[in-house]
Structure 1
């Protein structure tokens, strides 16, 4: 089976402090791997290292990517091997460009001959839940809700034709109803397009709903990996046990209400 392996990824800051330590993950088409941990555990830095988009003051000191065991350069994966969905969609769009312009820019950057008004493009917009896509082309980001922008970001990711997708806290800024809709759409698209997804989150409810497998990260290290059902039923590492205990305590509190 085709797969993408992220191997021995490590990141340090400018003082030489190890922030991400020897992380290895495997993504498979049509499957969702959740990378879960507390804030500051190294989730986003892991993604940044894999995408070669680390923030200033940090650097990747080791790591490689292999697609079906063939090494690929990390410097050239963003938008080709990986498409990305960010947690705050408003920061991802130029407020001076229309939806049509954003689509045109993405299609051109990836060598597609399709146009924003092409039936194939309009179908993708419809597939992610954007109604009346033809009319949407002339709108600007400030005229759209956060949920619409998140759906548009997902559509742009699909249009890159990248086989793997990194979704970094994709529903954090949305209300619960929109969260459910976006997560349902992502699950559908993963299966429909046979995407391999790395879903970054701190929310075990999202993990339980979305993920086939889970990797738990703490202080820059993956401390436990496994099938979602098995990890929920029999967590072995104290960090996983603590996170799940907090999740179930909150769930039971809500249920009692």
Structure 2
């Protein structure tokens, strides 16, 4: 399975957010999408799942532009739907409505949803909503998963358990996993490929191991060093 972006352009009110983005993603691998706030990461993700219509370019799955969006599930940074339902009711609703739903008791436990499943969504914290959004993205059982800051708002133990779950589920189910995240230092083992987005353009990409060799003299360790050498920016912070 191959998901391809070809010269994708997206504008808002005359401002170009994505300026000719091209990328290729393959099943069985995990891709890390990096960039500062405003670089276009979330806009690109929304275009990939069909929430936003591209102004130019193409999004292609296995050589076809039809039904691309039906094959991608996205975990959003915030989950605001069904505020007046209890969390377990929301999950059950999605389970009933989803054909071949993937209901993982392991993921339910990792995210600790059992401890607040009776809570109305409107009363849930940011971390709890993030957990529900992650669970629902997996429950939809799509071949492509796009996770937007999945580790944010989770405590350290949940982050570690989620890392292991993502690694094993990707291998066992041959998923294509694309992750937008500023948190990389503790999760580098998860990522196979890296794409760096800056001012709406892909400015560097490649296999993680090859990029680490290319930027082996970076002043910062690991992926953070690659990012700093390419952009002059610290992940989640300011430039040098």
Q: TM-score, normalised by structure 2?
A: 0.78
**CA contact 2:203–2:230 (8 Å) conserved in 1:** no
**CA contact 1:82–1:162 (8 Å) conserved in 2:** yes
1:41 Cα offset (Å): 0.9
Distance in structure 2 (CA, Å) of the matches to 1:207 and 1:136 = 27
**Which residue of 2 is the match for residue 252 of structure 1?**
none
**CA contact 1:8–1:63 (8 Å) conserved in 2:** yes
Deviating more after overlay: 224-233 vs 178-187: 178-187
**Which residue of 2 is the match for residue 125 of structure 1?**
105
Distance in structure 1 (CA, Å) of the matches to 2:116 and 2:155 = 22
Q: How well do the aligned residues superpose, as a CA RMSD in angstroms?
A: 3.2
Deviating more after overlay: 92-101 vs 219-228: 92-101
Q: Deviations over 1:25-77 (max 9, x none)?
A: 222222111111112111111111222223xxxx6211322222122256xx1
**CA contact 1:165–1:197 (8 Å) conserved in 2:** yes
Deviating more after overlay: 37-46 vs 62-71: 62-71
Q: Deviations over 1:83-119 (max 9, x none)?
A: 111234xx3453321233212332344345x7xxxxx
Q: Deviations over 1:210-242 (max 9, x none)?
A: 210001111000011100111122149x96515
Distance in structure 2 (CA, Å) of the matches to 1:24 and 1:40 = 18
Distance in structure 2 (CA, Å) of the matches to 1:7 and 1:61 = 12
- From the superposition, tell whether residues 181 and 218 of structure 1 become closer, same or farther in structure 2 (CA, over 3 Å): same
Distance in structure 2 (CA, Å) of the matches to 1:207 and 1:24 = 25
Distance in structure 2 (CA, Å) of the matches to 1:198 and 1:99 = 26
Q: Deviations over 1:145-172 (max 9, x none)?
A: 6555444333322221211011111122
Is 1:211 equivalent to 2:191 in the alignment?
A: yes
Alignment of 1:182-193 (within 5 A): 182-193=162-173
Alignment of 1:122-201 (within 5 A): 124-130=104-110, 138-141=118-121, 147=127, 149-201=129-181
**Which residue of 2 is the match for residue 230 of structure 1?**
210
**Which residue of 1 is the match for residue 24 of structure 2?**
26
Q: In the alignment, which of 53, 58, 63 is matched to residue 64 of structure 1?
A: 58
**Which residue of 1 is the match for residue 73 of structure 2?**
83
Distance in structure 2 (CA, Å) of the matches to 1:226 and 1:133 = 36
Q: TM-score, normalised by structure 1?
A: 0.73
- From the superposition, tell whether residues 11 and 128 of structure 1 become closer, same or farther in structure 2 (CA, over 3 Å): same
